[in-house]
Amino acid sequence: MPVISFSTPKGGVGKSTAAMLLGQALAHRGAKTFIVDTDKNHSIAGWSARGGSMPNLQIKATQDAEEVVDIIEAEREQNAFTIVDVEGIKSMLMSNVIICSDFVIMPMRETFLDAKAAKDAAKLTLSQRKVARRDIPFRLLLSQTGAIKSREQKDIIKEVRDSGLPMFKTELALRTGSFAAIFSHTDSLFSLDPKEIRGLKSAQDNAMAFADEVIAWARQVRAAEAGDNRNAA
């Protein structure tokens, strides 16, 4: 079943947050989901170690470039989705994870430097495609966005789109009360108390819209592959 990794060679773009939100949203949908946390900050594994849990979600940490391959290959058989969070530095581990991935997601804020890093991440994935001799679909994900965009932010997004890089329609908004606080609770985003968290429903809907777009993407790629195989037979 699909392996989805979050990799961009830049820190702070929102990889761990997006990986956690996707994992929780898929688990909330009822899909057996596994997150491999390879980030040295261990944000996701730290949540689990502090007692964070939810049904259908399992988490394991490693920073070993070889062990991560073994974990991914074992877990892809056992789970509906395996998600891998990668630290924001180009490394052998990042290359290994991309080669093992069925989908790569590259979060970016609406800044010049994040757009540059997202383009670098796309280049790395395109090069890993050649090594793997198969397609590794990827998409950029706008992260920590606001409802109102400045002229500069609009130009940055237009430039990325015009360069032909695929992008999710869903953006993960900047939500300090819910998304930024996701690692500090032991509840999941879907079991928090709406009386305690301002804007919880919108945050849940946002995370779910992202997960649904990932599910639709995975189905679309699977259908295209099935068509190719039929044509080749």
What is the binding site for ligand ATP (CB under 6 A)?
11-17, 39, 41, 43, 87-88, 143-144, 172, 174-176, 179-180
Quick one: which of 5, 16, 101, 145 contacts Mg ion (CB under 5 A)? 16
- Site for Mg ion (CB under 5 A): how many residues? 3
Torsion of CA 173, 38, 99, 103, to 10 degrees: -20
Please report whether residue 178 would count as binding Mg ion according to CB under 5 A. Answer: no
| 25 touches 210 (CB < 8 A) | yes
Q: Which is it for strands 57-61 and 3-6: parallel, antiparallel or unpaired?
A: unpaired
- Separation between Cα atoms, residue 37 and residue 206, nearest integer Å: 23
Distance in Å, CB of 127 to ligand ATP, minimum: 20
Tokens describing residue 156: 């940055």
- Of 39 and 171, nearer to Mg ion (C-beta) is 39
Helix (H, G, I), strand (E, B) or coil at 200: helix
Distance in Å, CB of 178 to ligand ATP, minimum: 8
Distance in Å, CB of 17 to ligand ATP, minimum: 3
- Of 39 and 114, nearer to Mg ion (C-beta) is 39
Give residues in contact with Mg ion (CB under 5 A). 15-16, 39
